[in-house]
Structure formats: structure tokens, C-alpha cells
Amino acid sequence: MTDRRLVLLCGAALLVACAWPLAIVHLPPYQDVPNHLATVHALVHPGRYPELVSNGFFKTNSVLAAWLVWIGGGIGDVWAMRLFCLLVLATNAFGIPWLLFEVRGRRAVVVGTLFAAPMVHNWFVSMGMLNFAFGCGLAVLLLATMQRQRKTPSMAKAVAIAALALAVWWAHAAPLLVMLLLVAVELAVSRFDAKSIRAALPLLPAVAVAVLRRVPSVGGELRPTPTPFNLAYDLWGEFFYAFTILEVVTLVPCLVLAVLALRAWKQSVPFFSPASLVAVALAYVLLPESYAAFFYLNARLIPFVWLALLVRVPEQVPRGLAIALGAATVAYSAALGVDFVRLTREEAELCAGVPYVAEGARLLPLVLDRRGTSVNTEHLGQAWGCYALEKDTAAPLLFAEQPSFALRHRTPPPEQLTAVAIERFLRTMRSERAFCDGRRESGIDVGDCPAEWRRHWNDFFDVARPHFDHLLFWGADKEVRDVVPPDYRLVFEEGRLLVYARDGI
């Protein structure tokens, strides 16, 4: 088998293992997908959403919105989203074996593929953070192209490096920044030899664009670096772990890879020298969890920590271990299929109230149970997007509060009605017990806690009522139902779903 066929075969095997569940559901149950679709719906129907304005497409974190608008116009939003998810998985599936071949040779390709399925369909994909996940896959292709340029330089490869670097930036700036860290360390380790400089120079246009088109952050808060235990857990939980306990089988490739690779951590691999491994690991450990509106800040390093470990796999592993890793891949693939069906069914239950919501309704989604049966994502928190797509309802939870998002508010909503504020309110106020327990744990004396909880809900509805004529509740208990203003009448109830409409609607 030729080298090219080997890489393609391993990539195809990874793609099939991770992408086949896309064929059995209408939409993948990735957390942010409904919000992204609602965003594009508002973009292409500006007359129905005059309160929202486009931020444009020539900026980082914009490739998904551009794809859905440009491709979705011909084949429909849903098919465009399905194809983009497939593209993200394919970029990672074929990029990882190719990088392994370029930096280690063909024997490492087969061994590395045994570990790679959870790295292809990783947690960022499950979260629906598709711009970032796509940017990571493009960064893998970029590293492989740069290594090939070092071996056999040509103008065509230089152009490809420049184009890929710009594509990484367009998808998400974070993978480009980590790439630049790896390249900077590589230049220092190689003492700025001519081959390394020649491979790095085509990155300059992307660097210039990233500096000139830097998107500022608005608001947000600093969340400090997690505890050592959480840092260790997140290396698995925020990369290898997808949805539910069914994917616990990914602990097998995770732990085995960590042991095998750390034994060889002193091995020098192009772009992943020991110094590069230490630099990426330190950045992960030292960066805060979030800063301003940049969420999962240190977690953005996790894909590259594991990539630095993956390129250190041995060229051979015992046959029994290879069989165990192959079985873990099959089990992971099957678990994805089960979870796709189960989580998609839950989202359909939340969308069952669509026929009972008026066209163009000012709908306020109040999702109190954001996880459902998922353990590692909150896929129900954004599932309200179906109401915007089907009935052109208001979309107060759209991603529209940062310049990096596809949309922004023409006039900022009341502070209590921003998407972040609503989400924070619901996490605290989802039940009287959760509110009071949280106060006690924080040492806050509120006296009559149940009365305080009702007062917060009443204050919230005083602000929300003039803006919304429909309410959607998911997972509300009787206590929450009792605080709904009396002029909202229940028009639909099924399972955990409640839909209210104000009198006269």
C-alpha cells in the first residue's frame, strides 16, 4: 500500500467511525447548533428581526455563519449545517493521519489512528463549538503542510500554507495563536535554520490580518485557573468525553496514550519538541478558565496538548493492546449513535410546542433543565432555536452580545434580558431549593428564603413581561408554575414542556 493510500484509508476509517450518526438524525444534538441556525435565520430575514444587525463575515469566528448563509441559500439551512458538521469531522479525520505521516512516518500512522477517534469527534464538536473545532482541524493540516514544505519546498506549498493560515484565523483565532506558539518554539529550537524560516514566512499574512482585524471583547468576567484536579479531569472531560456515560470507554485511549507518550516526552518531533510540549502544557495550566467574554480559555489548549502527545506514539504496540484500542473505537462509535438518537428525541420533545405558538410571537424560552440525559453538554439549553426557524419567534438567547458573533443588538436589551443574564438567572432560580441551598452554601442570610426566591422571579417578570407575549418552560416544577404572572395562560403542556400565551394573544 502506498503512503498516500494508507493515510487516506486511516482517515476514512476515522471519518466513518465518527460521522455515521449524522445519517440517522435530522440534526446532530450538538449544543450550540440550534442557536447557530437561529442566528442565520435572523441574518437572512432581517425584516423579521429588526432589533438585530449583522456584524459581517470578514472576521474571526465567522466561517460557520458564512457557510450557512452562502451554502444554505441553495440547499437549505439544515442540510448546510449537516454538511458543515461532516466537513469538521473530515478535516480532523484526514488531518491527524497526515500529520502523523509527515512528522513520524507511516508506521506511526496506524498506531496513532487507534487513539484518534475521540480526538476527531471531540468535546468541542459535541458542544457545537464548530468554528473552533474546524479551526483545530485546519491547524493540523497546516502543520502537516509546513512540515512538507521543510522537506521539499515549493511556491505551491507556500501559497497553501498562507491560505490555510488565513482559513484557520477565519474559523477561530485561538488555534492560530497556539500554532504561532508552536512555530515560535520550533524556530528557537532549530536556531532559526533556513528550512524552518522558509516554512514559517507564509504565516505572515494571517498574522497581519489577525492583528488588523482583532475583535475586542465586551463585558464578561475573570474565572481563575481551575484546581489541579479539574485541570487533570478536563484533559479527558473537555476533549475525549462526548455526551453521556456511554462514552466513558474513551478513558482507554486517553490513559494509554498519556502513559505511552509521556514515556517518550523527550523525543524531538517537528513542531512538537519537548520545549513545545512543555510550553503548550504550561499555557493550559496557567491560563484562566475564562477572561472577559472568552470562555473555555485554557481549554482551547487541550487539543494541542493531546496532539503533542499523539505524535509521540510508538511505531508498534502489543497486539492485545491494539485489539483493545480498536474495540474501544468501535464502542465509542456505537455510543455516539445511541446518544444521537436519545438526545435528538429530547430536543424534539422540547420543540413539540411549535404548533401552539403564534407566528412571529415574542417568545421567551426558559429552559430550567439544560442537560436532560446528557452529562457533559447542555444540548437542551439552545434547543429553542426550532421555534425561531418554524415560527419566526423572538430569539432573546441568540449569540449577539460580542463583536465576534454574527449578529449584534441594534439597541442593547435591558441588562436582565441579555442571553448571559437569563442563563445565569435560570441556573440560580431553577427551583426554590436550589436557590436557598446556594445561598446557604455562600453564607448569605436572606431570612425568608422562599419569599426571596419568589421576589426574584416577580422582579424578573416585571422586566420581561412588556417584551414577551409567550413563555416557554422546560423542566419547571410546581413552584415555578405558581410564580408565572396570571395574565399568561397555559396553552400547551406535554411532559416537561409548558407553553404560555398572554391573554389576548
8 with 29, same domain: the answer is: yes
303 with 363, same domain: the answer is: no
Tally of residues, the chain: 505
pLDDT in tens, 1-10: 899 999 999 9
Name the average pLDDT for the chain.
94
pLDDT in tens, 4-39: 999 999 999 999 999 999 999 999 999 999 999 999
Q: Are 25 and 337 in contact (CB under 8 A)?
A: no
Domain with 393 in it: 343-502
pLDDT of residue 441: 78
pLDDT of residue 125: 98
377 with 433, same domain: the answer is: yes
Structural domains counted in the chain: 2
158 with 305, same domain: the answer is: yes
Mean predicted confidence (pLDDT) in 174-199: 94
Report whether pLDDT(221) > 70: no
pTM: 0.95
Other beta carbons less than 10 A from residue 424's beta carbon: 12
pLDDT of residue 15: 98
24 with 158, same domain: the answer is: yes
151 with 166, same domain: the answer is: yes
358 with 234, same domain: the answer is: no
Other beta carbons less than 10 A from residue 33's beta carbon: 25
Which domain-ending residue is among 339, 367, 394? 339
309 with 396, same domain: the answer is: no
pLDDT in tens, 47-80: 999 999 999 999 999 999 999 999 999 999 999 9
Which domain-ending residue is among 286, 306, 339? 339
Backbone angles phi, psi at 111, to 5 degrees: -65, -45
Burial class, 441, CB count within 10 angstroms (exposed 0-12 / middle 13-18 / buried 19+): exposed
Q: Are 48 and 103 in contact (CB under 8 A)?
A: no
Other beta carbons less than 10 A from residue 352's beta carbon: 14
317 with 436, same domain: the answer is: no
Determine the Cα–Cα distance for residues 206 and 158; give it in Å rounded to an integer. 13
- Residue at grid coordinates 504550561: 282
- Residue at grid coordinates 430569539: 395
Mean predicted confidence (pLDDT) in 397-412: 91
The DSSP annotation for 210-273 comes to HHHTPPPP-S---BPPPPHHHHHHHHHHTTT--SSGGGGGGHHHHHHHHHHHHHTTT--BTTB-
pLDDT in tens, 227-279: 999 999 999 999 999 999 999 999 999 999 999 999 999 999 999 999 999 99
329 with 353, same domain: the answer is: no
Determine the Cα–Cα distance for residues 232 and 240; give it in Å rounded to an integer. 12
Determine the Cα–Cα distance for residues 351 and 490; give it in Å rounded to an integer. 16
pLDDT in tens, 339-368: 999 999 999 999 999 999 999 999 999 999
105 with 129, same domain: the answer is: yes
Which domain-ending residue is among 306, 324, 339? 339
353 with 417, same domain: the answer is: yes
3-state secondary structure of 501: strand
Determine the Cα–Cα distance for residues 257 and 95; give it in Å rounded to an integer. 18
